[in-house]
Structure 1
Amino acid sequence: MDPIYFDDLNKGDSWQSPGRTITETDIVNFAGLSGDFVQLHTDAEYCKETHFGKRIAHGLLGLSIASGLGTRTDLIAGISQTVIALLGLDWKFKGPIFIDDTIHVVLEVIETRETSKPDRGIVVLLRSVINQHGDIVQQGETPLMLKRRPEVN
């Protein structure tokens, strides 16, 4: 994959990841890794009486899988060679992710801006996590600092 530089990206550019189905094993492993054994994720009987009616994935599990799915796009493959820094994360949990849901990620450039240093720029990506029904279940913005093409400087 050729490098993707700040100068190659324009507002409105977008990429879609392949899908991934969320499994019970994902939830159990994430609970063990994170130490988050909250009943909404681990107790099927308890969840029958909740608003959701069944167990849901941890919000941060969804975010983690979304991050991994993003790496399977040409955008992330290209900018992995030119990224200087991830500058932040503004994330919203819009709906539940259930066991057996299949999610994918859409990455869209929503802003580009130059910096005071001529060798770099800022790109803001909107990352949308979408389930098999077309519902956005998580969404957020991630500003990234990228190198500019050497010939531009």
Structure 2
Amino acid sequence: MTTPTQGPAQSSGRQAVHYLEDLEAGQTFVTAARTVTEADVVGFAGLSGDFNPIHTDAEFSAGSVYGRRVVYGLLGLSIATGLLDRLGVFSGSAMAMLGITEWTFTAPVFIGDTIHLELAILGVRPSASKPDRGIVERRFTLLNQRGEVCQRGRIDVLVRRRPA
């Protein structure tokens, strides 16, 4: 079994692909960190078609509760899944995302924040009907550079079993 990464500053980059047999409840993984940029926000606005001024208008958002533009919540979630992919744990073994549940946005992410993902394995179970796969229950926690939790929730995934 691969030793989980210890922290964003110690992330060793891409890890080996983990199959169902390589995972167990209680394992944790920590990704490298990434700074959210102006280009990320502009690109997400163009891709999503969401140009809400709280995200795109500096003058408007200066008068908001945040006092500045706030990053799209769904952009934070998208970056979290990208950070997980960069880690490599599920790259090649994941078959399908099964759902996003219990997701909460607990603190804003701002342009210039440096965020990382902490992933906890909550449970692992083989499929009752398909012997080549199983379900991995995962808790995502997205944190900023101050260690504040910005988002958290579950994203369970269907994962391949180790090839024979």
Specify if TM > 0.5.
yes
Structure 2: tracts of 5 or more residues without a match: 1-14
In structure 1, what is the equivalent of residue 3 of structure 2? none
Cα distance between partner residues in 1 of 2:124 and 2:109: 31
In structure 2, what is the equivalent of residue 52 of structure 1? 66
Q: Give the TM-score, by structure 1 length.
A: 0.88
Cα distance between partner residues in 1 of 2:61 and 2:137: 37
One-letter amino acid of the counterpart of residue 119, structure 2: L
How far did residue 150 of structure 1 move? 4.7
How far did residue 122 of structure 1 move? 0.9
Count of aligned positions? 148
Q: How do 1:76-87 and structure 2 match up within 5 A? A: 76=90, 80-87=91-98
Distance verdict in 2 for CA 1:10–1:48, change over 3 Å: same
How far did residue 12 of structure 1 move? 1.1
In structure 1, what is the equivalent of residue 115 of structure 2? 103
Larger relative contact order (Cα-Cα within 8 Å, sequence gap ≥ 6): 1
Cα distance between partner residues in 1 of 2:155 and 2:115: 19
1:13 pairs with 2:27 = yes
In structure 1, what is the equivalent of residue 126 of structure 2? 114
Alignment deviations for residues 33-89 of structure 1 (CA, whole Å, 9 cap, x no partner): 11111011011121122111110011111111111111111423xxx2222221111
In structure 2, what is the equivalent of residue 134 of structure 1? 147
Which of these residues, 93, 96, 106, is aligned with residue 105 of structure 2?
93
Alignment deviations for residues 11-52 of structure 1 (CA, whole Å, 9 cap, x no partner): 111111111111112111211111111011011121122111
In structure 1, what is the equivalent of residue 44 of structure 2? 30
| Percent identity between the two aligned chains | 44
In structure 2, what is the equivalent of residue 144 of structure 1? 157
Structure 1: tracts of 5 or more residues without a match: none
Cα distance between partner residues in 1 of 2:46 and 2:133: 40
How far did residue 120 of structure 1 move? 2.1
